[in-house]
């Protein structure tokens, strides 16, 4: 698989606009790469209260070891939670942070 091109911030804008899809083939490729990283250290969402609250977690990569909850990251809407994980994984895979949400919103406008 080809690595993520950090210049393709249009794909991040697409995800932010519609985190649950449908996704373009290019964005789906990025998501597949993000989901194929090693388990150890991968950011995930942990359900705190079904359909009401989520927390950011990190996987240990060791079977039977609990997910480490990252302090300060609690979410009450799934879109914000998914966007946070996307940004973290983007940074981990590209080495670059995404532009601000406002800059991405401008990029997403036709």
Worst-scoring range by mean pLDDT, 9-18, 83-92, 95-104? 95-104
Residue span of the structural domain in which 41 resides: 9-105
Element at 82 (helix H, strand E): helix 78-94
The answer to whether residue 2 is domain-embedded is no
13-54: pLDDT as tens digits: 999 999 999 999 999 999 999 999 999 999 999 999 999 999
The answer to whether residue 79 is domain-embedded is yes
Polymer length in residues for the chain: 110
* Closest-CA residue to 95 (of 7, 2, 1, 15): 7
User: With pLDDT > 90 as the criterion, what percentage of the chain qualifies?
Assistant: 87
pLDDT-derived band at 84 (thresholds 50, 70, 90) equals very high
The answer to whether residue 18 is domain-embedded is yes
User: What is the pTM assigned to this prediction?
Assistant: 0.91
Kindly report the average pLDDT of the chain as a whole number. 93
Find out whether 98 and 7 touch, Cβ atoms under 8 Å: no
The answer to whether residue 95 is domain-embedded is yes
The answer to whether residue 38 is domain-embedded is yes
Structural domain total, the chain: 1
The answer to whether residue 64 is domain-embedded is yes
| Strand order across the beta sheet in which 43-49 lies | 43-49, 53-58, 68-75
CB atoms within 10 A of CB 51: 7
Dihedral (C-alpha) 28, 73, 42, 21: value to the nearest 10 degrees? -10
């Amino acid at each position: 698989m080809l690595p993520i091109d950090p210049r393709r911030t249009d794909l991040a804008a697409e995800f932010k606009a519609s985190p649950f899809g449908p996704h373009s083939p290019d964005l789906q490729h990025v998501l597949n790469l993000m989901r194929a990283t090693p388990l150890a250290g991968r950011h995930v969402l942990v359900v705190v209260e079904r359909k009401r609250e989520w927390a950011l977690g990190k996987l240990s990569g060791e079977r039977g070891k609990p997910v480490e909850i990252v302090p300060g990251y609690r979410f009450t809407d799934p879109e914000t939670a998914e966007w946070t994980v996307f940004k973290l994984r983007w940074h981990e895979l590209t080495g670059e942070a995404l532009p601000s949400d406002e800059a991405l919103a401008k990029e997403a406008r036709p």
